[in-house]
Copies of this chain bind each other. A is one copy, B any other.
Amino acid sequence: MGEGAEPRAAARVNGFACKNPMLVQANDFFFSGLNIAGNTSNPVGSKVTPVTVAQLPGLNTLGIAMARVDYEPWGVNPPHLHPRASEILTVLEGSLLAGFVTSNPENRLITKVLHKGDAFVFPMGLVHFQRNMGYGKAVAIAALSSQNPGVITIANTVFGSNPSIAVEVLAKAFQVDKNIVDQLQSKF
């Protein structure tokens, strides 16, 4: 898809199908459902509904994606990063604490409480998170600078990989006893 990747039907770009531009239909550029709240009944109390090239093939090569994020009261979109994208997020409903951490050696935490209509930026590849700061639901719309941004949720990656990272590595990395590592790994 994408005019930059034109004209043979069988072509693939970035591993995704690339339709003949003579054959594209409006539906190739269409996604439905961002009005539907995601199911936040999970341990972190948040849910992301992504609109990337996996859900909307017409995004291929275009360098853009979107997502809706739902948060239950005090729900958290846990620390994560996008290996191939920057992000801007705006609040549709509720209030969020949004933050990101700069890279070594400063590891500065930059945070802001966001209300309806506020927007905040998470630079390329940095660890970031949001937390619903209220007793009601919160909703945000995020935009990402890649059609295939990827998501690396820190806790799942570090303590919930398949197979697990060796406990000796994690014990040293987090400077804790192995039984705490075990405890952390048991959650994922």
Contact = CB atoms under 8 A, between A and B. Distances in A.
A125 interface: yes
A17 B101 CA distance: 21
A113 B187 CA distance: 27
A30 B31 CA distance: 28
A145 B148 contact: no
Interface residues of A, number: 123
Interface of A: 1-8, 10-18, 21-22, 24-27, 29-36, 43-45, 51, 54, 56, 58-59, 62-66, 74-76, 78-79, 81-88, 90, 92, 97, 99-104, 106-112, 114, 116-127, 129, 131, 141, 143-145, 148, 150-166, 168-170, 172-176, 180, 183-184, 187-188
20 contacts: A4-B84, A26-B111, A29-B120, A30-B112, A30-B119, A30-B121, A31-B119, A36-B117, A51-B90, A51-B119, A58-B123, A64-B145, A79-B165, A83-B83, A83-B103, A83-B124, A108-B161, A109-B163, A125-B150, A125-B152
